[in-house]
Amino acid sequence: MAADLTTPARPAFGVYVHVPFCTVRCGYCDFNTYTADELGEGATRASYADSAVAEIRRAAERTGPREVATVFFGGGTPTQLAAADLVRILGVLDEAWGLAPDVEVTTEANPDSVGLASLTTLREGGFNRISFGVQSAVPHVLRALDRTHDPERVPGAVRWAREAGFEQVSVDLIYGSPTETMDDWRRTVEYAIGLEPDHVSAYALIVEEGTAFARKVKRGEVVMPDDDETADKYLLADELFEAAGLGWYELSNWATSEAAQCRHNVLYWTGGEWWGVGPGAHSYLDGRRWWNVKHPAAYARRLAAGEPVEAGGEDIDAATARLEDVMLRTRLRSGIETSLLRNVRQLTADGLIEVAAGRAVLTRPGRLLADHVIRLAT
């Protein structure tokens, strides 16, 4: 029977697994994470895989068959769980939905939470991409960020990941700490390049309301760098990454090739759908977005009782979906159709975008002013 070419293809489908555990809560972090002292009764690291498995099986009953293109274990620190637990969760994802033959499976990791044995278990269990939270190579900057790992351990962790057979190794960096000089940031970027990663993410430190870091800023205990200094650090990183063969493909992400790009994040940015597993995890499917209860104990209790774990949600209408699509795709090096944008001539004249073959792409100055560009374009 001939294929029905009038039926639109379904969006790519991914799964995000939130692992909400950390050894220490970093002062700048507003993610849904918990130290052992904060978990309370009814939630433990040892029992977490059981809860995640229960949600996955329930989710698959709701969605029906979907081939999983990408899986991303984030947190928190996923590698605070035993490697065997992470592999077990991945195996249930395959049983429940089915993993694509070329599935990308990523886990985040702190450099001090892995060894060659655990990485080998993960790789043999189906993980093929790892993202190390490096943040900085400078001890006093790490202290300011409440990071506990020793930067001298990172090269060993990366080497173990390679020896274990991981196909892609990424490192995450943060710039703009109050104590970080331009020389400090250069040292961190050069250190990251020296690790020979396939992918780098570099994000400016944001002061999030409700964090310990925000309280320090409010009390005047720390002073954030000005916007010009932050922009200079971005430009320095971009220059050094490009020279090392890492090209930008999204405002805060660089990769050695298209194959090295994080396909899971690209799925988010290009209209894919995903199920978020775990406390506080967000999902998007069939035009609806929803999120789970935040505390691991409440999440575990609801699953054990057969109750919904959804805490809230919203239907996304066509206008909102279009706006969000433009906002996200404008940030990509692949650009976006000019027909979807406003003020294209002005943005081009201002040197903020370049237009070719009917697509608009941010220039380097445009990347520094991406929020401004998006406001004018939408």
DSSP letter string, 100-127: EEEEEEEEEE-GGG--HHHHHHHHHTT-
Of residues 367, 357, 377, the one with CA closest to residue 250:
367
Is 214 within 8 Å of 208 (Cβ atoms)? yes
Residue position matching structure tokens 């984030």: 74
Per-residue model confidence (pLDDT) at position 145:
83
Per-residue model confidence (pLDDT) at position 73:
98
Per-residue pLDDT tens for 257-281? 999 999 999 999 999 999 999 999 9
- Residue 162: CB atoms within 10 A of its CB come to 14
Sorted by where each starts, the structural domains of the chain and their CATH numbers stand as: 13-269 (3.20.20.70), 318-378 (no CATH)
Per-residue model confidence (pLDDT) at position 45:
78
Per-residue model confidence (pLDDT) at position 206:
81
Range with lowest mean pLDDT among 115-119, 143-147, 242-246, 370-374: 143-147
Per-residue model confidence (pLDDT) at position 315:
97
Confidence band, pLDDT 50/70/90 cuts, at residue 34: low
Per-residue pLDDT tens for 287-306? 999 999 999 999 999 999 99
DSSP letter string, 129-141: EEEEEEE-S-HHH
Task: Give the mean model confidence (pLDDT) for residues 224-248.
Answer: 95
Tell me the C-alpha distance between 30 and 37, whole Å: 17
Is 113 within 8 Å of 157 (Cβ atoms)? no
Burial class (CB in 10 A: 0-12, 13-18, 19+), 178: middle
Residues 6+ apart with CB under 8 A from 157: 109, 111, 112, 114, 132
Of residues 95, 173, 109, 102, the one with CA closest to residue 141:
173
Per-residue pLDDT tens for 330-340? 999 999 999 99
Confidence band, pLDDT 50/70/90 cuts, at residue 48: very high
| The two structure tokens encoding residue 291 | 């999120």
Per-residue pLDDT tens for 193-211? 999 999 999 999 986 666 6
Per-residue pLDDT tens for 234-244? 999 999 999 99
Per-residue model confidence (pLDDT) at position 369:
97
Percent of the chain with pLDDT over 90: 79
Percent of the chain with pLDDT over 70: 88
Tell me the C-alpha distance between 235 and 279, whole Å: 36
pTM for the predicted model, two decimal places: 0.93
